[in-house]
């Protein structure tokens, strides 16, 4: 189940196709950002944040470098470079029994990258909301 | 192989026994901090950083909440609370074919927690060095 979802996820990231997220996100999906503690609840908000992430990082030298996959959880490590700043992070994905993503968490290192993402995601989400 | 190493790791964290790290770290082990990009190379430095982490977080309400384990990689997610600040992070462990840890990476969220850890680890490592 989770393998199919991961395959679709990789394809969407590759194609920068945020609309395709509808297919793999559960209705009650929750997004946890690397910057803020408060979870973003619901499919719509999760999609908004993931679309912003795909938008921001899609323009960088983004690549996945390690993948650890369990029964219903996957951790995808990536590296990227944006404005000359090195970004190393993980997408932590938890799926329900149907393979839909119910929980998506992102962590980032080092500190410089967290600060950069903070600034860029804020700009990006502001733009998305007012569009 | 990795299962035995993880079992020992959990025991050491439980007992706050940093000396026991010698047993599970490879000579060429590398530590990647959540704050700084530059890797800390070698068994001695890796032990120093892990001991500091165990020291700092051992006094908090530390617990592991998710574990994703592959052939030679494991991701252990934890939560903690320190000075009233919520910390959520991952220990990313890569082992060699003998089950020794060759790479240990930590990522932390949210931003407040990264800043707190930055301050506390700096103090702790300064203390360790001058002792």
ipTM, 2 decimals?
A: 0.93
**Cα(A15)–Cα(A44) distance, integer angstroms:** 20
- Using an 8 Å CB-CB cutoff, list chain A residues near B89: 107
Alpha carbons B14 and A29: distance in angstroms, whole number: 33
DSSP B70: -
Mean pLDDT of B68-90: 96
Confidence tier at B65 by pLDDT (50, 70, 90): very high
Instruction: Decide if B1 contacts B97 (C-beta within 8 A).
Output: yes
Q: Is B83 helix (H, G, I), strand (E, B) or coil?
A: coil
What would the DSSP string read from start to end of A7-63? Answer: HHHHHHHHHT-GGGHHHHEEEEEEEE-SS-SS-EESHHHHHHHHHHHHHHHHTS--E
* The pLDDT of residue B129 is above 90: no
pLDDT at B128 > cutoff 70: no
Confidence of residue A131 (pLDDT cuts 50, 70, 90): very low
Query: Is B74 close to A86, i.e. CB distance below 8 A?
Result: no
Which chain A residue lies closest to B38 (C-alpha atoms)?
A110
| Strands (E) located in B7-130 | 25-32, 40-41, 63-69, 73-82, 85-95, 101-109
Of A62-71, A95-104, A121-130, B120-129, which range is least confident?
A: A121-130
Predicted pLDDT of residue B130: 40
Among A33, A68, A112, select the one facing B68 at the smallest CB separation.
A68
**B54 in Cβ contact with B78 (< 8 Å):** no
Write out the two tokens for B88: 């959520």
Res. A129 pLDDT band, cuts 50 70 90: very low
A115 touches chain B (CB under 8 A): yes
Percent helix, percent strand, percent coil in chain B, to nearest 5: 45, 35, 20
A39-88 pLDDT, tens per residue? 999 999 999 999 989 988 877 789 999 999 999 999 999 999 998 999 99
CB-based contact, B77 to chain A, within 8 Å: yes
Quick one: pLDDT band at residue A127, thresholds 50, 70, 90? Answer: low
What chain B holds in terms of domains, given with CATH numbers, is 2-120 (3.10.450.50)
Considering CB atoms only, which of A32, A107, A118 is closest to B90? Answer: A107
Contact B36, A110 (CB under 8 A): yes
Asked whether the whole model's pTM tops 0.80, one would answer yes
Of B69, B94, B110, the CB nearest to A36: B110
- B36 touches A: beta carbon within 8 Å: yes
User: Are B107 and A88 in contact (CB < 8 Å)?
Assistant: yes
Locate B6 and state its tokens: 């993880």
In angstroms, rounded to a whole number, what is the distance separating the alpha carbons of residues A41 and A46?
7
Nearest CA distance, A40 vs chain B (angstrom)? 13
- B82, β-bridge pairs: B85
């Amino acid at each position: 189940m989770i393998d199919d979802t991961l395959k679709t996820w990789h394809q969407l990231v590759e194609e920068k196709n945020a609309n395709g997220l509808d297919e793999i996100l559960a209705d009650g999906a929750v997004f946890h950002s690397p910057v803020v503690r408060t979870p973003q609840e619901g499919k719509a908000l999760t999609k908004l944040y993931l679309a912003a992430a795909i938008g921001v990082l899609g323009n960088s030298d983004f690549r996945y470098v390690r993948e650890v996959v369990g029964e219903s959880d996957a951790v995808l490590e990536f590296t990227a470079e944006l404005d000359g700043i090195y970004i190393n992070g993980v997408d932590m994905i938890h799926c329900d029994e149907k393979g839909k993503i119910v929980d998506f968490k992102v962590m980032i290192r080092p500190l410089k990258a967290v600060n950069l993402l903070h600034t860029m995601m804020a700009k990006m989400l502001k733009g998305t909301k007012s569009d």
